[in-house]
Structure 1
Amino acid sequence: MQQLFAIFAARRHGMAAVLGTTLLLGVLVVWLMPERYKATAQVLIELKSPSVVSSSVVVANQTVPSYIATQMDVINSTRVALRVVDQLRLAEQPAWKARWQDEADGLGELRSFIAHKLQDAVDARPSRDSNVVSIVARAHSPELSAAIANGFARAYVETNLDLRVDPARRYSDWLEERSAGLRTRLEEAQARLSAYQRKHGIVNADDRMDIENARLQELSAQLTAVQAQQAESASRNARRGDGDALPEAIQSPLVQNLRLELARKQGLLDDLRERYGARHPEVRSAESEVASLRRQLDGEVRRVASGLGSSDQTNAQRVAAAQSALDAQKARVLALMASRDEMQVLLRDVQAAQRALDTVATAQSQSELEGSAQATNVSVLAPAEVPIEPSAPRPALWLAIAFALGVALAIAWALYRESRQRPVHSVRDVYEHLGLPVLGQVMVGPALAAPTPTRPRLGRGARRSLFNTSP
């Protein structure tokens, strides 16, 4: 450090010249640099997307950084810049036309040229741990910088709304075309169902099916009852040979009276036989009465038995009729079931077409509402104000930079000069660089010191220069 300080002290005049020159250049740059103004507009980005038909859609926490980064890209996009150009009518200003001619030779489109220049002059900066985005615009005019910042804020809000509304409108148009086809499909399905119902005379298949099923169950029950009666009559008919044992004959009042009368006459005949013998006229008369009663009884029993045969035939006919009616009803039910199944297929086609049309209609209604929405999740929090003082150049900063650069250049100049021509600055230099022992050191005051036009220097002839120096 002593050696460095010695070098700096020896070359202080040159270093001061380098530092002064650098500071002078810094002042010149600050004086020649045009003034630039910076205006800042703040935009608030909500993490909820408003919906006119449902609850707000909340952006997931893990997608917040990417969502904010996407919004930064939207702000810096050409679409937003072109909207700013149109809002501020920059393409109509002669200054921009002249700049376009000078820098691009009139090539390309003027609006795109201005939009690219605005993109270079605008910077979107998201706040840390916040949903506020700062839109910083720089320009040579304070009014223009504020106008550009506010223009980008408004254009970003409008573009964000368009990015939500335009897809909804296109989707609504597509849904309208789709709903027309589905409506035609529904009408065709309903026409097929109506034609089938008219052809088969079906108003309500379920109600008619219930009626026919009830009729089928009723006929089945009647057939069962008739079959039971037939079985019973057949059993009685099988016992018709033993007429006295038939329940109908036993239960018949006439048969019972005839049997009672026959028993009474038979008892009277037996008494007369015991009393008068078998050839007595009274006995003959009693036997004739008994025979007549027996013939009457047998005739009544035969009549009852013959009635059982006709009843059996009647029951058989009833069974056949009931069976025929049951078979016809079964065929009717099966035909109705087949018709109902075919109608159910047609009905399902109608229902499917109706559900599809309802779904598309609901989505179309929602898309139309979203397409006509005027709300977005972005709003201007603080518009840019016209700056009072320029943001660049900053004299203090530039002078500080020039001073630091000047110090660095001065040190570099001193070290460079020291490496090209090394003088002797101290006794230590004599010992280290010349390799000569130092016998003593004479301190000369300012008044007694003899002026020396040149200082002793190392290198070629360094030793001779050292000893030719005045004490």
Structure 2
Amino acid sequence: MNKLAPSTELAAHAYPAGGLKQTDPTSAGTVTPILLEYLEIARRRKWVIAGVMLAFLMIALVVTLLMRPVYSATTQIEVSRDQKSATNMQGVEAEAASRDLEFYQTQYSLLEARSLAERVMRNMRLASNENFWDAHSIDPESIAEASGEATPGVDLRRTSAVREKVVIETLLENVSIEPIRGSSLINITYSSYDPELSAQIANTWAREFVEQSIARKFSSTAEARDFLEGRLEELRQRLEASERALVDYATTRNIVTLDSGGGGSGGASAQIRERTLAADSLEALNTELASATAARIEAQSRAEMTGTVQSNETLARLREQRARSASELANLLVQFEPEYPTAAALQGQVNELDRAIAREVRRIADEQSQSYKAAASREAQLRARVNALSGEVLDQRSDAIQYNIIQREADTNRQLYDSLLQRYKEIGVAGVSANNITLIDEAQPPQEPSSPNLLLNLLLSLLGGALVSVAIVFLLEQSREGLNDPTKVGALLGLPLLGSVPKATDEEDLVALLNDPKTEFSEAYFSIRSALAFTTSHGVPKSMMTTSTQPAEGKSLSALALATVLARVNRRVILIDCDLRNPSAHALLRTDRDVGVSNFLAGEEDISALIKPINENLDFMPAGPSVPSAAELFSTDRFEKLVRKLEQEYDHVIVDSAPVIGLADAPLIGRVVQAVVFVVEAGGVSVRGINAALDRLRSANAPLIGVIVTKLDKDTSAYGYGYDYSYKYHSENDAKHA
């Protein structure tokens, strides 16, 4: 046991915390982008995806070829918001009602209404049309049987409630209303197996929609017309009675009325349109009197105010001439005496202008005085005539009050009658106005079927196949519990990845592949040897053990491969087969296991007699004869003694141990060696099982240093290497790290 101390101290120094370097396991490799992971999954499952999509394509192809061709005919109509009318008359509904935001949505709903389908059915007599039943693959006999009409001597295609219901439902199922975005155009499309029938139904659908719209307008105005007719007759009688009473009163009171020409409308603020002759004359004279008074006041103002005289044009022109002459005279007197001839002439001119101005002022004053007298005289005459007529008008005032009352009643009745009559005419004209629905293009029998569309069906099948294949791949990926991606070793197992080994076919000689340094198989283990060289400060561990979760994961081959690649770089290596329960290393090396490890553990002391040389640098110690209890043999210090002795004679001691699960051999052996390499088969044992095995080793303080992933299929795995390039690179550089 004393020989174990230096080894365990070395292991503890090189591999703290159970033999692992203090590095983040998840940082052992670059994190794969999610898109690349999806691409790798698609590559691995390419045959599943291809199979599902091919199956969908074949199903779509067969179904499309077996489907009966459907023909779709389209009629185009225009639905305008504003009614097209030859007049400006308005119907019962307000014009703003047709401009609501819901207008077109209402039209679309009306085009799909059951009532419209009933009109089409009755117009074309589809319930008894044999072509209609054939065009929709409907058996009328089954309908008759369902309705209880299948009795002898009765025509199975006669019109009945059940057949009509089936026809209407069929029409609504096969018609489609497609508004053209950004316009008032609407496409009415009908589909059936008969192109002629599809075109007929589409055209009939559009025509019936137009007729239904017109009928709806007539029905909406009928009630209003009936109501207005009754009111018009009542108002007509009232108007005749009021007008007759007005004429009788004017005759008895000798009231002569004149039409004022005013077009007043009815209401409290309206003025009476008829007036008496005396009142009309008084109003005219009073208007003239007001004008005469204004003229007199104006003439008086001109006579009294000097400003009026000053504003006379002739007087202003004379004053302007005098000012100009006076200015010239003043300038001349600066240089000459007043007696100077030119100055004397200018002085005379100024004096003459003063006299002319005085004469003009007197003339204007006389004219204004005469105008004032004439205006005052005319005003007095008109006032006298107005006073005379005022007495006559006052005498007729009491009679006019009653006359106006009767007249207002007659005018009110006339206005009501005229308004209702005008409204009655407008409704009648609106009922015959042009419709706001126009048929643009009639449907023609289609020459090509609208469905099935082979290309569209294939594209849809590809889409459906892609979705189903994604779901299947998702389920398959979720059901995989094994370790398939070596890059996730650190994250899932908490150990660094030493390397991965490609999967070999059953026909291949694994030992031959291993001995050929140019093969991917050999290159993979050579890369693992390079990784082992960096696990300790002194290179590849002196002694190490390979184990796995369960048998057949490649641990024995990995032990042999590590021993082979180490011997290839001039290291003396011994391979020990410690899987006493199911040894396999001797079979790989094509030798026997007559003597070996079990002999030494049982008490044999001559180690050299138990060793079989393989080549110049590689020796092999077989498992030896089978023993009843291998765990009891490994529990003694004999195996530790064997390893320590071999470490002195060889550069590296490689131990092939038994699997971990269910056995105690591996944890016992792991306490003796310097390093433990855990072998995992790609896609084999679940991650939970692997972690359970690793926990057992960790609980035994086994110096775990890393994981080797074996049997990796590059075609189905998300992990792969270019081994050709890797071989060329390592063959030149890795030897220096041995």
User: CA-to-partner distance for each residue in 1:334-392, whole Å, 9 max, x for gaps?
Assistant: 6744333323322222222222222222222232223234x222211111122222222
Does the Cα contact within 8 Å between 1:213 and 1:333 map onto a contact in 2? Answer: no
Cα distance in structure 1, aligned partners of 2:426 and 2:61: 65
Residue in 2 that maps onto 1:19:
53
The one-letter amino acid paired with 1:370 is A
* CA positional deviation for 1:181: 0.9
Cα 1:431/1:213, change in 2 over 3 Å = closer
CA RMSD of aligned residues (A): 4.7
The one-letter amino acid paired with 1:142 is P
The one-letter amino acid paired with 2:256 is N
Unmatched runs of 5 consecutive residues or more in structure 2 = 1-34, 150-159, 259-273, 283-389, 511-551, 553-680, 694-707, 712-738
Report whether the alignment pairs 1:387 with 2:446. yes
Residue in 2 that maps onto 1:89:
125
1:458 to 685, 696, 702: 685
* CA positional deviation for 1:427: 6.0
Cα distance in structure 2, aligned partners of 1:62 and 1:85: 29
Cα distance in structure 2, aligned partners of 1:343 and 1:439: 124
Higher normalized contact order (CA 8 Å, seq sep 6+, divided by chain length): 1
* CA positional deviation for 1:53: 3.1
Cα 1:98/1:340, change in 2 over 3 Å = farther
2:458 to 399, 413, 422: 399
Cα 1:105/1:51, change in 2 over 3 Å = farther
User: CA-to-partner distance for each residue in 1:149-203, whole Å, 9 max, x for gaps?
Assistant: 21221122222323333333433332222211111111222333344456x2646
Residue in 2 that maps onto 1:255:
none
Range with bigger deviation, 427-436 or 26-35 = 427-436
Does the Cα contact within 8 Å between 2:257 and 2:276 map onto a contact in 1? Answer: yes
Cα distance in structure 2, aligned partners of 1:19 and 1:5: 17
Report whether the alignment pairs 1:68 with 2:104. yes
Instruction: Compute the TM-score of the two structures, normalised by the length of structure 1.
Output: 0.59
Residue in 1 that maps onto 2:88:
54
Residue in 2 that maps onto 1:159:
212
Cα 1:205/1:65, change in 2 over 3 Å = closer
Correspondence 1:187-206 to 2 at 5 A: 187-197=240-250, 200=252, 202=254, 204=256
* CA positional deviation for 1:209: 5.5
1:359 to 410, 419, 427: 419
Residue in 1 that maps onto 2:402:
342
Cα 1:169/1:433, change in 2 over 3 Å = closer
Residue in 2 that maps onto 1:372:
432
Report whether the alignment pairs 1:36 with 2:89. no
Does the Cα contact within 8 Å between 2:71 and 2:198 map onto a contact in 1? Answer: yes
Cα distance in structure 2, aligned partners of 1:194 and 1:437: 124
Residue in 1 that maps onto 2:239:
186
Unmatched runs of 5 consecutive residues or more in structure 1 = 216-328
Residue in 2 that maps onto 1:249:
none
Secondary structure of the corresponding residue to residue 76 of structure 2: strand
Cα distance in structure 2, aligned partners of 1:210 and 1:467: 129
User: CA-to-partner distance for each residue in 1:413-448, whole Å, 9 max, x for gaps?
Assistant: 344234435566676688887869657747858973
Secondary structure of the corresponding residue to residue 446 of structure 2: coil
* CA positional deviation for 1:11: 5.1
Does the Cα contact within 8 Å between 2:253 and 2:399 map onto a contact in 1? Answer: no
Cα distance in structure 1, aligned partners of 2:128 and 2:182: 41
Secondary structure of the corresponding residue to residue 440 of structure 2: strand
Cα distance in structure 2, aligned partners of 1:356 and 1:208: 23
Correspondence 1:162-241 to 2 at 5 A: 162-197=215-250, 200=252, 202=254, 204=256, 210=277
Does the Cα contact within 8 Å between 2:89 and 2:430 map onto a contact in 1? Answer: no
Does the Cα contact within 8 Å between 2:116 and 2:205 map onto a contact in 1? Answer: yes
Correspondence 1:247-286 to 2 at 5 A: none
Cα 1:420/1:176, change in 2 over 3 Å = same
Cα 1:15/1:103, change in 2 over 3 Å = farther
Instruction: Compute the TM-score of the two structures, normalised by the length of structure 2.
Output: 0.40
Cα distance in structure 2, aligned partners of 1:148 and 1:60: 33
The one-letter amino acid paired with 1:359 is S
User: CA-to-partner distance for each residue in 1:201-257, whole Å, 9 max, x for gaps?
Assistant: 646356996469999xxxxxxxxxxxxxxxxxxxxxxxxxxxxxxxxxxxxxxxxxx
The one-letter amino acid paired with 1:164 is K
Report whether the alignment pairs 1:77 with 2:130. no
Residue in 2 that maps onto 1:136:
189
The one-letter amino acid paired with 1:204 is V
Cα distance in structure 2, aligned partners of 1:205 and 1:347: 11
Cα 1:339/1:189, change in 2 over 3 Å = same
Secondary structure of the corresponding residue to residue 52 of structure 1: coil
The one-letter amino acid paired with 2:418 is D
